[in-house]
Amino acid sequence: MGANAICEDKLGFKKKQNKQNREKDGFKSNKESEYTRFINDLYSILPKLTHQQFKQIKKIVHKQFIKKFAKNQPPKYGSLNKGFTEQEVQLFFRMIDNEKLRLLFQYQAQLGLRIGEAVKVNIKDIDFNSRELKIRTEKVHTLNTLIIPIPLFKLTLEYIRQYERHIQKDGYLFFKEEGKYSHRDEPYLSTDYVRNSFRYYVQKTGLDEVYDSSDETNYNRTPRRLHRLTTHSLRHYAITSFAKQTNGNVVLTSKFARHRSTGVTQTYISTTKQGLYREIDNTFSQQAERLKWRIIDMEGQK
């Protein structure tokens, strides 16, 4: 009779049943579903994982979730400017009393580096003749180069001379000092430490602003406060500043930001409320003035 056989259900009605491919939990299997086997394997593996391995798995799952679903979620902050203004960035840097963190944040504010890219800056990636910096772009997994501005390059040289003994070991500018910050194996500063330091200086400057709280899907986690200024705000500032200096050249700004599309770049370019209102006044005041003179001309022709 083959794989399909005639059998009777509880009420006595005859029906065909595929003995080899019964569906269970959405998977076809003989006795135990693939899904059940997967869950059992997962539960046997999880207790053996270290804390660092758990964090790595969490990052992978989160990255895949964002890649698949984040495009359907509108930004919670809407048109809120999440970048530093010129006055705010000056106040922020004035407050930083740590040379290493100040230089790291300047790489973000002048070259638009993401926090994960900034902590990994290595002297091997700097061409000291051309001032070019090789950047392994996190989001698109490409190797890019940007030129380091002369003032930032001079600060970098002075910093390297001052901390040469620490830097020459692994080459990382923002090295992790022994016994400080964390027990990680990586020889550079952790992003968590840098973010916490950033929050400390923002609060000390009086610029900390919470605009909302997160919607946590995990029932045992309390909602997180969403801050307007984060380390990524320095990247927003760099991209906006570059766009202004190039008279709004989005294509060139997109290259500077190392984005795949100009559409993504446009979400980073911030316009101040005063600037927006000024341009509205300029645009529509001129239109109203032209309309007024047309009416006067028409009246004169009658």
Q: For residue 262, give the CATH number of its domain.
A: 1.10.443.10
Residues 130 and 252 in one domain: yes
53 in any annotated domain: no
**R_g over Cα of the chain:** 29
Q: Are residues 247 and 138 in the same domain?
A: yes
Backbone angles phi, psi at 25, to 5 degrees: 60, 25
Say which residue the tokens 């300029």 belong to: 282
Shared domain check, 245 and 99: yes
Assigned domain for 121 exists: yes
Q: 145 and 43, same structural domain?
A: no
Q: Which residues pair with 212 in a beta bridge?
A: 226
**Does a structural domain hold residue 228?**
yes
Q: Which residue do the tokens 């602003």 mark?
A: 209
Helix (H) or strand (E) holding 4: strand 4-8
Q: Based on the domain organization, do 40 and 165 belong to the same domain?
A: no
The separation between the first and the last C-alpha atoms of the chain, rounded to the nearest angstrom, is 99
Q: What angle do CA 234, 253, 271 make, to 5 degrees?
A: 60
Q: Which of 78, 104, 62, 48 is nearest to 235 (CA)?
A: 104
> What order of strands is seen across the sheet that includes strand 132-137?
126-127, 132-137, 142-147
Alpha-carbon distance of 209 to 124, in angstroms, equals 38
Is residue 83 within 8 Å of residue 270, measured between CB atoms? Answer: yes
Residue 213 is given by DSSP the state E
Q: 189: how many CB neighbours lie within 10 A of its CB?
A: 26
* Statement to judge: residues 117 and 27 lie in one domain: no
What's the rounded Cα separation, in Å, for the pair 204 and 200? 6
Residues 102 and 39 grouped into a single domain: no
Question: Is 288 a domain residue?
Answer: no
Same domain, yes or no: 107 and 256: yes
On whether both 10 and 141 belong to a single domain, the answer is no
If one counts the domains in the chain, the total is: 2
Residues 148 and 28 in one domain: no
Residue 210 lies in a domain: yes
- Residue 138 inside a domain? The answer is yes
Tell if the pTM clears 0.85, that is, is over it. no
In a domain, 60, yes or no: no
- Residue 21 shares a structural domain with residue 99: no
- DSSP code, position 17: E
Amino acid at 118: A
> Which residue shows structure tokens 């047309």?
294
Supply the range of the domain harboring residue 95. 86-214+224-266
Asked if residue 58 belongs to a domain, the reply is no
In a shared domain, residues 43 and 93? no
Over its length of 302 residues, how does the chain's per-residue pLDDT go in tens digits? 444 555 555 445 455 555 444 444 444 445 557 778 888 887 888 888 888 888 888 888 877 776 676 555 545 555 667 888 899 999 999 999 999 999 999 999 999 999 999 999 999 999 999 999 999 887 767 888 999 999 999 999 999 999 999 999 899 999 988 766 556 778 999 999 999 999 999 999 999 888 877 765 555 667 778 888 999 999 999 999 888 888 888 888 889 988 888 888 887 876 655 555 665 566 566 666 666 666 666 666 65
What's the Cα-to-Cα distance from 86 to each of 22, 101, 241, rounded to whole Å?
Answer: 65, 19, 9
